[in-house]
Amino acid sequence: MPNVDSVKVAVRVRPFSQREKDAGSRCVISMNSNSTSIYDPRNPGLVKTFTFDLAYWSHSGFLKDKNGMLVSAGSNSYAGQREVFRDLGEGVLENAWQGYNATLLAYGQTGSGKSYSMIGYGANRGIVPVVCEELFKAIQNQEKNKQYQITFSMLEIYNEQVIDLLSKTRKPGGLKIREDQQQGFYVDGLKLVPCDNYAQIERLMEQGNKMRTTATTTMNATSSRSHMVITIQFKQIFLDEAVTKQSVINLVDLAGSERQKSSGSEKDRLKEGTRVNLSLTTLGNVISALAEGATGKKVLHIPYRDSVLTKLLQSALGGNSRTIMIAAVSPADICYEETLSTLRYAERTKKIRNKAVVNASPTEKLTRELKAENTKLLSRLAGLRNPGTLAADETQELRYLLAEKEQGIQSVQVTWESRLQAAREEWEQQYAAIAQERQMMETFPYLLNINEDPQLSWVLKHFIQDGSSEVGQSTSNAIILRGLGILDKHATFTNADGKVTLTPHDKCKAIVNGAPITGKTKLQHLDRVILGSNSAFLYVGPPAERTDEDLSRYDYDFFQSELAAAEGFSVDELGAAGGKDSRADPGVLAVFHDYIKLMPLVAEVNQMSEELKKDLKFELKVKNLASTDSRGYDLQKEIMVKVTHATTNQVWVWSKAKFINRKFLMEELYQRFQEGEDTHVNQDSDPFWDPVEVVHLGSAHVWLQSLAYCVQLEEQTELLNSEGLEEAVVLINLSPCSRDGRILGEDDTVIDPLELLGRRVDFQIHIAECLGVKWLQDAVGRGIQIGYRVYDLPRFLYTKPAWKNVNPKIEETVHFSALNASYEFLNYLQENALIVDLWGLQEGCTAMDCSLDGLLLTPEGTIIVDNPKALTANDVGLDPANHVSELYRKLLQMEEETELLREINRALREDNLLLKDKLKKWDTSHHESLCLSQVSISCFC
């Protein structure tokens, strides 16, 4: 009977990483029983709550026990690996014993804790190893009339290729997925290793992980984009009853769920690498379709067949499997968006319903058939005792048949035993190699690999034996290292009595503790070594030099932060520190993280560009968005990548999202190059190519306040690039003027800008010249244009292109008119700056449109600003052309009337002044005559 049940979903939140701690991150997750709440760090009042089957608080309240295991610090508030296994792992085991298929998926962004829950680290073993160990433990305690068969397989899906992690030889193009009527989809040729104890599985996992690490570096791949699938096939053969129960357990550590958001308005010309993450996208589609189906909607098609992963998981999702998903989340404020998206994904997943059945495997059927047939045969044989019931030849045939069938049963047994034996032998060889490695670690200094993915760190060790050891890609080296930017003969290590030095060969890249080295350099215990573009190693000195120091602090982040610091880049540098509570702004921290994350990718891309002879140089830049904010607030910073062509000096600016997308496409191309295939691509699909474009060079802020007081401003100001460095100086004048363009004088100054309210305000922007344009110094064939946008204008205005001259004369004046100055416009003038952008033209690019198309003009040809939106034609539903001219006519009429009134007013004021003057004169003379008369009076008295 099928058992309908929903996918069980658990959320787990991890502790802060060191990086998050250093950055003073805040925790945005809280949990209460099985509900999980997340608050928006930018709007803390906004809380969203989700309810799942289980919620694991693994963020705080723990301590490390003497074995290094994280356990609850008393209050039971912390969920450790043991608790997670108890709820989820035991369920998987129970299902397996009953003969159900079981699937466990870990979903979440890179670094959220998927591998920690699935595989684990050191003493904190995850679900997979504990499930395997418990399975063997339970087998030991079972009755003896049962036989067990366990096989283990481990594969990786990268770029839709299936790589067998237990096979020494890598098949180009990966293994094929095939479909079978009975077993559904399966991987053809995948190594299924029979195991009869846990130690064997432990070694296999270690071996698989090594393979994964080597494959990642050799293929220049990113492990966070790959899925790892471990499959345990568990068969129980009940000898007495001749029944077989079979269960397939899939344990899936999915690729990082993060999406590259395309920032700003810029979209990449090339679509995302077609096969990159296809599996994860399809998984999302399958889950959505299944979730919709479960809520009663009619779903016609579930796209299982669209990707490798969904083919393999077909029965786990919406089929014959009991399925569990762990949604791993980061607690940090800067991961808010990703965490929220993970919780939403999990919410959809929990709606899926599966129909799990106890598996009647082909073996079981075979046994059952054999048993039935034997019974029949036996009863017929019994009949033989009655002579005459059967003929002699018939008896013979029956005996033969019986023997054959019994052989069938035995051969199943024999095959299994011999496979097990072969695996045991292989395992012993492996074991000897591992034992030897342990011994070497105690004798020699060595390089320990450090990977971006902590799961793949400390996996490979390269021993530096006495004398000198050559290192590089060539197999003739003592230390064979594959990786981007590593040459055949890359460097030499010498070990003289435990004193180790590193000497890179000519032009070979080597960095020690953040600084590039060229000559012989002495290494000290725990030095950080980077060879080629991004192969990182921790140097572990000879045993005598070693200390008790915990090596875990030298993780990938440590390496990258050290490199960034050597380049003069840090959080403090970005202005994150300081402030009231000395907490860094999450936005600034995000930029710092981006920088650290992109740094190695840029190094890799430069290397690929060099090898593929693309002649392009890539550099990381931090763009200060304050320069594009008209109020000058230090809003945000953004990472971008500047691309320069080494020979033509052409420049492109890529957003982070575009760069990451291109990098994956470049990797695909590079892989083809490495495999000796033709790497010629059309310009249109070349990830290194883009049409030549206009480049934003810098901006200046010119405050508009003077216009609000009708005062002229003559400004000479620096155009600063996104790093705050001077790109050029621009001479610009803002001049209040009359409607016919006469510049107003001092007499026209207003004391209060509100005096201009409702009046016609005219002004001119005059761009005189630019001085010392760096862009024009750097290369020939370049030009510039200057652009700006005033208040509510629908578009930017650009000056005509100026070519070649480093101090180009521009001399362009534009006249603007606010016909009926609004309060908002006057306010804008007082509080905002005009952002003046400097644009760089290069050979072959299309210049910015310097016409006045799309702008509303007065009959005199001046540009109308402050065009009241409430009265726009569209809003009132009138024919735009007529409506605008009608409005304009009315405005002019009103203005004329006002002007008339003003004239009258002015005349009155003049009269008034005249009268006052007369009065004053009269006053004085009257006073004099009054005095005189008084004197006379007194005389008369």
Closest contact distance (angstroms) between CB of 279 and ligand ADP is: 16
Identify which of residues 121 and 198 has a Cβ nearer to ligand ADP in the complex: 121
Contact partners, residue 416, CB within 8 Å, separation at least 6: 149, 194
What residues from 100 to 129 belong to the interface with ligand ADP (CB under 6 A)? 108, 110-116, 121
Closest contact distance (angstroms) between CB of 258 and Mg ion is: 12
Q: Which does 832 bind (CB under 5 to 8 A by kind): ligand ADP, Mg ion, none?
A: none
Q: Which does 451 bind (CB under 5 to 8 A by kind): Mg ion, ligand ADP, none?
A: none
- Give the DSSP per-residue string, 794-810: SS-EEPPPEES-SS-EE
Identify which of residues 17 and 247 has a Cβ nearer to ligand ADP in the complex: 17
Whole-number Å distance between alpha carbons of 13 and 327: 9
The residues pairing with 245 across neighbouring beta strands, listed in sequence order, are 236
Instruction: Record the tokens describing residue 662, joined without a space.
Output: 């291109």
Identify which of residues 107 and 828 has a Cβ nearer to ligand ADP in the complex: 107
Closest contact distance (angstroms) between CB of 226 and ligand ADP is: 11
Contact partners, residue 832, CB within 8 Å, separation at least 6: 630, 631, 703, 704
The residues pairing with 782 across neighbouring beta strands, listed in sequence order, are 842
Closest contact distance (angstroms) between CB of 12 and ligand ADP is: 6
Closest contact distance (angstroms) between CB of 457 and Mg ion is: 11
Whole-number Å distance between alpha carbons of 190 and 357: 25
Q: Which does 15 bind (CB under 5 to 8 A by kind): ligand ADP, Mg ion, none?
A: ligand ADP
Place of tokens 């339970």: 138
Q: Which does 495 bind (CB under 5 to 8 A by kind): Mg ion, ligand ADP, none?
A: none
Q: Which does 328 bind (CB under 5 to 8 A by kind): Mg ion, ligand ADP, none?
A: ligand ADP
Whole-number Å distance between alpha carbons of 65 and 72: 10
Closest contact distance (angstroms) between CB of 348 and ligand ADP is: 20
Does position 840 bind ligand ADP by CB under 6 A? no
Among 7, 8, 10, 14, contact with ligand ADP (rule: CB under 6 A): 14
Instruction: Record the tokens describing residue 166, joined without a space.
Output: 């237990």
Does position 558 bind ligand ADP by CB under 6 A? no
Identify which of residues 161 and 455 has a Cβ nearer to Mg ion in the complex: 455
Closest contact distance (angstroms) between CB of 116 and Mg ion is: 8
Closest contact distance (angstroms) between CB of 258 and ligand ADP is: 10
Among 101, 451, 455, 534, contact with ligand ADP (rule: CB under 6 A): 455
Determine which helix (DSSP H) or strand (DSSP E) holds 336, and give its type and residue range: helix 336-349
Does position 15 bind ligand ADP by CB under 6 A? yes
What residues from 287 to 346 belong to the interface with ligand ADP (CB under 6 A)? 328
The residues that touch Mg ion, with contacts defined as CB under 5 A, are 115, 455
Closest contact distance (angstroms) between CB of 876 and Mg ion is: 59
Whole-number Å distance between alpha carbons of 126 and 123: 9
Closest contact distance (angstroms) between CB of 455 and Mg ion is: 5
Closest contact distance (angstroms) between CB of 453 and ligand ADP is: 6
Whole-number Å distance between alpha carbons of 770 and 698: 12
Does position 225 bind ligand ADP by CB under 6 A? no
Identify which of residues 58 and 712 has a Cβ nearer to ligand ADP in the complex: 58
Q: Which does 121 bind (CB under 5 to 8 A by kind): ligand ADP, Mg ion, none?
A: ligand ADP
Three-class secondary structure of residue 812 per DSSP:
strand
Closest contact distance (angstroms) between CB of 328 and ligand ADP is: 5
CB of 364 within 8 A of CB of 245? yes
Identify which of residues 111 and 687 has a Cβ nearer to ligand ADP in the complex: 111
Instruction: Record the tokens describing residue 555, joined without a space.
Output: 């993780």
Q: Which does 110 bind (CB under 5 to 8 A by kind): Mg ion, ligand ADP, none?
A: ligand ADP
Q: Near ligand ADP by CB under 6 A, which window of 13-21, 391-399, 421-429, 657-665?
A: 13-21
Identify which of residues 113 and 532 has a Cβ nearer to ligand ADP in the complex: 113
Closest contact distance (angstroms) between CB of 225 and Mg ion is: 11
Q: Which does 14 bind (CB under 5 to 8 A by kind): ligand ADP, Mg ion, none?
A: ligand ADP
Identify which of residues 211 and 737 has a Cβ nearer to ligand ADP in the complex: 211
Closest contact distance (angstroms) between CB of 317 and ligand ADP is: 20
Contact partners, residue 288, CB within 8 Å, separation at least 6: 348
Closest contact distance (angstroms) between CB of 228 and ligand ADP is: 10
Q: Which amino acid appears at position 623 of this protein?
A: K
- Give the DSSP per-residue string, 895-925: HHHHHHHHHHHHHHHHHHHHHHHHHHHHHHH
Whole-number Å distance between alpha carbons of 506 and 490: 8
Number of residues in contact with ligand ADP under rule CB under 6 A: 17
CB of 164 within 8 A of CB of 175? yes
Identify which of residues 128 and 734 has a Cβ nearer to ligand ADP in the complex: 128
- Spell out, one character per residue from 58 to 77, where the chain touches ligand ADP: x when CB under 6 A holds, - when not: x-----------x-------
Closest contact distance (angstroms) between CB of 255 and Mg ion is: 9
Q: In what order do the strands lie in the sheet with 510-512?
A: 461-463, 446-450, 535-540, 528-531, 510-512, 515-516
DSSP 505: P
Q: Near ligand ADP by CB under 6 A, which window of 11-19, 32-40, 676-684, 756-764?
A: 11-19
Identify which of residues 252 and 695 has a Cβ nearer to ligand ADP in the complex: 252
Identify which of residues 560 and 624 has a Cβ nearer to ligand ADP in the complex: 560
Whole-number Å distance between alpha carbons of 244 and 360: 7
Identify which of residues 454 and 868 has a Cβ nearer to ligand ADP in the complex: 454
Whole-number Å distance between alpha carbons of 295 and 218: 45
Whole-number Å distance between alpha carbons of 360 and 320: 12
Identify which of residues 289 and 328 has a Cβ nearer to ligand ADP in the complex: 328
Dihedral angle, C-alpha 107, 111, 113, 115, nearest 10 °: 80
> Residue of minimal CB distance from ligand ADP?
113
Identify which of residues 15 and 504 has a Cβ nearer to ligand ADP in the complex: 15
Q: Which among 566, 562, 561, 586 is positioned nearest to 576, based on CA atoms?
A: 586
CB of 73 within 8 A of CB of 63? yes
Closest contact distance (angstroms) between CB of 114 and Mg ion is: 5
CB of 29 within 8 A of CB of 38? yes
Three-class secondary structure of residue 675 per DSSP:
coil
Determine which helix (DSSP H) or strand (DSSP E) holds 246, and give its type and residue range: strand 243-253
Identify which of residues 127 and 471 has a Cβ nearer to ligand ADP in the complex: 127
DSSP 111: T
Strands 510-512 and 802-803: unpaired
Whole-number Å distance between alpha carbons of 713 and 735: 6
Question: Residue 832, Cβ neighbours under 10 Å: how many?
Answer: 19
DSSP 333: G
Q: Which does 58 bind (CB under 5 to 8 A by kind): Mg ion, ligand ADP, none?
A: ligand ADP
Per DSSP, which regions of 99-217 are E strands?
102-107, 120-121, 124-125, 146-158, 161-164, 177-180, 184-187, 193-195
Identify which of residues 556 and 839 has a Cβ nearer to ligand ADP in the complex: 556
Identify which of residues 119 and 710 has a Cβ nearer to Mg ion in the complex: 119
Whole-number Å distance between alpha carbons of 653 and 640: 7
Q: Which among 473, 595, 602, 477 is positioned nearest to 533, based on CA atoms?
A: 602
Does position 454 bind ligand ADP by CB under 6 A? yes
Q: Which amino acid appears at position 37 of this protein?
A: S
Return residues touching ligand ADP (CB under 6 A).
Answer: 14-15, 17, 58, 70, 108, 110-116, 121, 328, 454-455
